[in-house]
Amino acid sequence: MKKDNKLKVTYRVNGQIRVPEVRIVGDNIESQVLSIGRARQMAEDMGVDLVEISPNAEPPVCRLIEFSKFIYLQKKHAKEVKAKQVKIEVKEIRFGPQTDDHDYEFKLKHAKGFLSDGDKVKAYVFFKGRSILFKEQGEVLLLRFAQDLEEYGKVESMPTLEGKRMTMFIAPKKVVAKPMKTAEELENEKAPEEAIVKKQPQQKARKEYTGPKVEGEDFDD
How does pLDDT run across 114-173, given as a tens digit for each residue? Answer: 999 889 999 999 988 777 777 888 899 999 999 999 999 999 889 998 888 999 999 998
Q: What is the H or E stretch that residue 69 is in? A: helix 67-84
Rounded to 5 degrees, φ, ψ at 161 are -90, 120
Beta-sheet strand order (sheet of 29-35)? 29-35, 21-26, 61-65, 49-54
- Name the residue with higher pLDDT: 214 or 144: 144
Beta-sheet strand order (sheet of 90-95)? 90-95, 120-126, 165-172, 153-162
The rounded distance, in Å, linking the Cα atoms of 93 and 114 is: 10
Walk me through the domains of the chain, giving residue ranges and CATH numbers.
2-84 (3.10.20.80), 90-172 (3.30.110.10)
How does pLDDT run across 3-62, given as a tens digit for each residue? Answer: 555 555 688 999 999 999 999 999 888 899 999 999 999 999 999 999 999 999 999 999
Bridge partners (DSSP) of residue 153 are: 172
Q: Among positive and negative, which fits the CA dihedral 104, 106, 110, 113? A: positive
Rounded to 5 degrees, φ, ψ at 179 are -70, 150
Helix/strand/coil percent split, the chain, to 5 = 40, 25, 35
Q: Specify the pTM.
A: 0.43
Is the preceding peptide bond at 201 cis, omega within 30 degrees of 0?
A: no
- Please report how many Cα atoms fall inside a 13 Å half-sphere around the Cα of residue 170, on the Cβ side: 29
Residue 97 has pLDDT above 50, yes or no: yes
- Give residue 190's Cα distance to chain centre: 35
